Amino acid sequence: MILCSNPSEQFKSYQSEIEQAVNSVMRSNSYVLGEQVGLLEQEFAEYIGTSSAIGVANGTDAIEVALRSLNVGYGDEVITVSHTAVATVAAIEASGAKAILVDIDPKSYTLNPQYLEKVLTKNTKAVIAVHLYGNAVDLDTVLSFCRSNKLFLIEDVSQAHGAKYKNKRLGSIGDLGCFSCYPTKNLGAIGDAGIVTTNNLDLADRVRMIREYGWKNRTSMLPGRNSRLDEIQAAILRIKLKYLDSDNQKRRDIAKFYYENLSLHPILLPEISSNVEPVFHLFVIQVANQNKLINFLKKKAVMAGIHYPLPVHLHPAYKGRVMHSRDMSVTESIVKKIVSLPIYPELSNSDSKIIVNALHEFFK
């Protein structure tokens, strides 16, 4: 069976290094926010190109803590997209703010900047740009909008570790960058983990305090919470960070194989701007017969997926409650067409050929 993603295979790739690192932590008598977390923060900041990186418990917390560091909360509004993981919106609500959802660009699947002005109010405080599928938001336009309206820009980079926009790493361009390191991510732990990046030292200090009860020298200086990163996950992420660029190149190589072999079929392939160096967290195509294709591939032992089958504003928990722009036509239409093909660094050439041949058979 060929899985859509397969984090256990990555563990096998670096098994000896990971096991050695984990054993070292277990013998160290320091298990939370210790040396490994500090080293990961230093190395990740250097990799992304920011002055600071702060480890937190998971990617959802990363967004919530980032918002709280900006004093975004009750009575405030945060603009983002509905075509994202529910976590993005859940984090906004956890901060106390209200999520305002807008439609996406039909080519990049990311936030469409033309809708920003239409939902802007006196209560708008921030925009969260979700870099979906390993692609990038049109940051020049979004950043210009934010600066003109004195709004904060948070990058949700949970699906784009290592990607670049105009030769800058995503997560280094907005006021704050938020990363999930869930096991299936391009930089994935073996458990939950998250990272916040910023070039603002004051914001970095606030994030560090908020992640641990608002403490400074174990005195609560502001309202905080518990979102600490443990040493084992930090040690594992340090191992994987060394290989992130090479693993992302493997993803690009697989994507290239898909582009070269699927272009003659009635498939809409991903479009990437010339400004972007993508990392293909997912390879998402559009087809007219989504369910038939997924079921056909399943019979061929190819587990394709849908990311995401239901826009956030149509989930029962949010339907009729969360605010969104009037026009959500792209978001609501593409979910009936998108299919995520398997892609991860350990996907073999033979398995890639099986996937392509299955698609050939389906469309013949």
pLDDT at site 237: 98
180 and 224 fall within a common domain: yes
Length of the chain: 364
* Per-residue DSSP letter, 151: -
Q: From 242, 258, 286, give the residue that closes a domain.
A: 242
Which residues are registered as beta bridge partners of 212?
Answer: 226
Domain annotation covers residue 294:
yes
Output phi, psi for 143, to 5 deg.
-65, -40
Q: Could you tell me if 73 and 215 lie in one domain?
A: yes
Looking at this protein, which amino acid is placed at residue 136?
A
pLDDT for res 170: 98
pLDDT of 323 reads: 87
Domain boundary among the residues 242, 276, 309 is at 242
- Side-chain-side CA neighbours of 278 within 13 Å: the count stands at 25
Name the residue range of residue 153's domain.
Answer: 7-242
**Does residue 308 have a cis peptide bond before it, meaning omega lies within 30 degrees of 0?**
yes
| Angle at which helices 201-210 and 59-69 cross, to 10° | 120
Domain count of the fold of the chain: 2
Q: pTM for the complete prediction? A: 0.97
Same domain for 220 and 288? no
Q: Look at residues 210, 226, 242 and tell me which one is the last residue of a structural domain.
A: 242
Which segments of the chain have a pLDDT < 50? none
Paired sense of beta strands 215-216 and 219-220, if any = antiparallel
With respect to residue 2, please indicate whether it lies within any of the assigned structural domains.
no
Shared domain check, 279 and 183: no
On whether residue 278 sits in a domain, the answer given is yes
Residues 117 and 107 in one domain: yes
Which tens digit of pLDDT belongs to each residue from 194-231? 999 999 999 999 999 999 999 998 999 999 999 999 99
Q: What is the dihedral of CA 147, 150, 151, 154, to 10 degrees?
A: 50
Instruction: Give me the pLDDT at residue 321, please.
Output: 86
**DSSP single-letter state for residue 159:** T
Same domain for 166 and 46, yes or no, is yes
Whether residue 22 is found in the same domain as residue 157:
yes
Same domain, yes or no: 263 and 345: yes
- Reduced to 3 states (helix: H, G, I; strand: E, B; else coil), residue 65 is helix
Question: What is the model's pLDDT at position 320?
Answer: 86
**Which of 165, 203, 225 is CA-nearest to residue 70?**
203
Does residue 273 lie within any of the structural domains? yes
Q: Please give the Cα distance from 229 to 61 (Å, whole number).
A: 11
Distance CA 363, CA 305 (A): 18
Which CATH number goes with the domain that contains 186?
A: 3.40.640.10
Residue 1 placed within a domain:
no
Tokens of 236: 């594992």
Task: Tell whether 234 and 249 lie within a shared domain.
Answer: no
CATH number of the domain within which 311 lies? 3.90.1150.10
Residue 223 neighbours by CB distance under 10 Å: 11
